[in-house]
Structure 1
């Protein structure tokens, strides 16, 4: 197996496991304390990955917000914010989204072989488009990131992305924040969907930290069985 980055998956969900509700407005799951915690984690990684649907739905910037943390990254010879990474099967991305236009960090788009030419033409100079096999292969994606110097990758979702990484055994550490309410909407997106996960009752993750973050609970797990190069 090719070397790959250390993968840290991060998500916030309701007590019943939902990332959002089914309305057109983004559901705020956590508050200022957790946003600052996430900012600290972002400042410590080389790249952040979200799925294309997260870009379409939330239009994230994925920047390090703290001026002090940005300055510390620059002092260490790094860009102020990590490289931004997305993956898409359809190639349906808007090059004017904030993911591609805000900040100076590199933007990488991983696509199946059959979409590479069309997506390259669509994105222009907004991002570098990388052929990741057909179908899109997470091992190819991670090996390419490693070759680009990415040692720590933060995966921020959404649910299909978390499902894919966890089911493939490619997550080394999981940060799960639980918001103190229920959503209860079958049409809303969940933290993960059905899959054959290697993290099952016989192969349990190791809980290494629990703490209150505002009115939410942070659960931090180490996944000892993750497949690494």
Structure 2
């Protein structure tokens, strides 16, 4: 089974944080970068986020541009990519924005949380268990079976960390915002893990572009060289 091409997308502060520790979401991207992210979504077959991101940010995960939605439909695709949420606890409420407008919705979870999700969400989303424990390989295989060739992952830090550590991310899109968070309790883009290649492994730089007042870095995490 061919797995989807996995693109991790994040905006971070200069010191590597996804957000600050406050109650309101910290907007790191600029308007030009938000439009770029919309274009990346429009090119994806599915957009995936973790449950913590859904609960904290309450995103809609839609393609905002009417023109981009029309272009998708002209190619024989749904107007919106599939929305995918992953959760181990099953603590997702029916009133979250992600279940609203947009196309197909899918939730991956574990056996112990599947019944709770069915009860909470009803027909809002299809619930799929990966078994007794959460398994990313199963998630990607099931998405591949559903025709997802390109998967955009928008967070949060735990999801990004797990996919990079498991060597399942094919491309990283990291937008560096010109600000510093400096709060130890704030969420980071990548947390502690045993990453492929260890501390000397260097990813291949695919591109570096200024977008408004942020800098977009694109890396291939599977294409590594080691410095001694």
Same fold (TM over 0.5): yes
Bigger CA drift: 14-23 or 117-126? 117-126
Once the two structures are overlaid, the 10-residue window that deviates more, 190-199 or 55-64, is 190-199
Aligned length: 224
The 8 Å contact of residues 199 and 205 in structure 1, kept in 2 or not, is answered as no
Matched residues in 1 for 2:57 and 2:116: separation? Answer: 24
Query: What are the superposed Cα offsets for residues 114-145 of structure 1, whole Å, 9 maximum, x if unpaired?
Result: 21122112210010000112210000000000
- The structure 1 residue matched to 2:155, chosen from 148, 154, 157, is 157
* Match in the other structure for 2:4: 5
The separation in 1 between residues aligned to 2:120 and 2:39, in whole angstroms, is: 33
User: What CA distance in whole angstroms lies between the structure 1 residues aligned with 2:15 and 2:156?
Assistant: 16
8 Å CA contact 2:167, 2:222 repeated in 1: no
Structure 1 stretches of 4+ moved >4 Å: none
Q: Distance in 1 between matches of 2:139 and 2:120?
A: 20
Partner residue in 1 for 2:69: 70
Report what 1:115 is aligned to.
Answer: 113
Distance, in Å, in 1 between the alignment partners of 2:149 and 2:197 is 23
Q: Which moved more, 1:169-178 or 1:191-200?
A: 191-200
Aligned to 2:122: 124
**Equivalent position to 1:176, from 174, 177, 196:** 174
Q: What is the alpha-carbon root mean square deviation over aligned residues?
A: 1.3
Q: Which residues of 2 match residues 9-158 of structure 1 at below 5 A?
A: 9-103=8-102, 105-158=103-156
**Post-superposition offset of 1:102:** 2.1
Please state how far the C-alpha of 1:211 moved relative to its aligned partner.
1.1
1:36 offset after TM fit, Å? 0.7
Partner of 2:164: 166
3-state DSSP of counterpart to 2:15: coil
Secondary structure of the residue that 1:211 maps to in structure 2? strand
TM-score computed with the length of structure 2 as normaliser: 0.95
Output the TM-score relative to the length of structure 1.
0.95
Q: In the aligned structure 1, how far is the partner of 2:62 from the partner of 2:56? A: 17
Distance 1:177 1:200 in 2: 23
